[in-house]
Amino acid sequence: KQEVTQIPAALSVPEGENLVLNCSFTDSAIYNLQWFRQDPGKGLTSLLLIQSSQREQTSGRLNASLDKSSGRSTLYIAASQPGDSATYLCAVRRSSYDKVIFGPGTSLSVIP
Amino acid sequence: GAVVSQHPSWVICKSGTSVKIECRSLDFQATTMFWYRQFPKQSLMLMATSNEGSKATYEQGVEKDKFLINHASLTLSTLTVTSAHPEDSSFYICSAERAAGNTIYFGEGSWLTVV
């Protein structure tokens, strides 16, 4: 059974700092991995999608890496801003028709 | 980009009544939609997978007679909470994907409060 964990559960950093969020999954046989952002009381916004054959994806200040063999993914946020404050969730999928398994999320606070 | 819309965003209903939440994909056809619920400070819990034109697949522990899901068209899925009780109060979120295995897009969510 696939299990997804995220470390740390919460993180508080001063504005401008670079930071890394971690995601681990127990079953390396995944189809893809997706990072989401959720603001309080809101739905989820897709940030980056990494297919199993890919090693990383980049979008603006965000970079996500994937190491399937070790069951890990990281989300790197450069030059953090207060507007980055949110909960970040990673989610994995075993196949294109399988359900998505979410991690518990990392709550990020960027202090001005 | 793709947009998924949910309605209503907030709803308060009396115990024993039924509430319907709509999920629409606005600029793409979604053969599959997913329904989640989320309790405060917890991650999303998948309730069911909704496929257009067929019966929804419910996760273990989710009562299909209580949470009725209809996916009548490629752009609309509905979740009806029947005979709602206070413990059904939660944040319900839908998601849709343009094609199998593709990026998943989420709606803004619907807050349900049962009084």
> What are the backbone angles phi and psi of residue B101, rounded to the nearest 5°?
80, 5
**How do residues A46-75 score in pLDDT, each as one tens digit?**
899 999 999 999 999 999 999 999 999 999
Whether chain B has a CB inside 8 Å of the CB on A31: the answer is yes
| Statement: residue A33 has pLDDT above 90 | yes
Beta strands in chain B (DSSP E): 4-7, 10-13, 19-25, 32-38, 45-51, 57-58, 67-73, 76-81, 90-97, 104-106, 110-114
So what's the pLDDT on residue B54?
82
* Chain B residues inside the 8 Å CB shell of A45: 106
Amino acid at site B96: A
Whether chain A has a CB inside 8 Å of the CB on B101: the answer is yes
Contact call for A93 and B100, based on CB within 8 A: no
A2 with A94: CB under 8 angstroms? Answer: yes
Among B96, B76, B80, smallest CA distance to B23 is for B76
DSSP for B69-101? EEEEETTEEEEEE-S--GGG-EEEEEEEESSTT
Distance of alpha carbon B92 from alpha carbon B44, whole angstroms: 9
Distance of alpha carbon B23 from alpha carbon B6, whole angstroms: 5
B87 with B17: CB under 8 angstroms? Answer: no
Instruction: Suggest the residue from A97, A100, A107 to mutate for an interface test with chain B (most B CBs closer than 10 A).
Output: A100
Q: Any alpha helices (H) in chain B, and if so which ranges?
A: none
> What are the backbone angles phi and psi of residue A64, rounded to the nearest 5°?
-115, 135
Contact call for A100 and B111, based on CB within 8 A: no
**How do residues B32-87 score in pLDDT, each as one tens digit?**
899 999 988 788 889 999 888 888 999 999 999 999 999 888 899 999 999 999 99
A6 with A90: CB under 8 angstroms? Answer: yes
> What are the backbone angles phi and psi of residue A84, rounded to the nearest 5°?
-80, -10
Beta strands in A1-112 (DSSP E): 4-7, 10-14, 19-25, 32-38, 44-51, 56-59, 62-67, 72-77, 86-93, 100-102, 106-111
How many interface pairs between A and B have CB atoms less than 8 angstroms apart?
A: 49
Task: Let me know the angle formed at the C-alpha of A33 by A31 and A39, rounded to the nearest 5 degrees.
Answer: 150
CA distance B17 to chain A (A): 24
Instruction: Give percent of chain A with pLDDT exceeding 90.
Output: 84
**How do residues B5-44 score in pLDDT, each as one tens digit?**
999 999 999 999 999 999 999 988 888 899 999 988 788 8
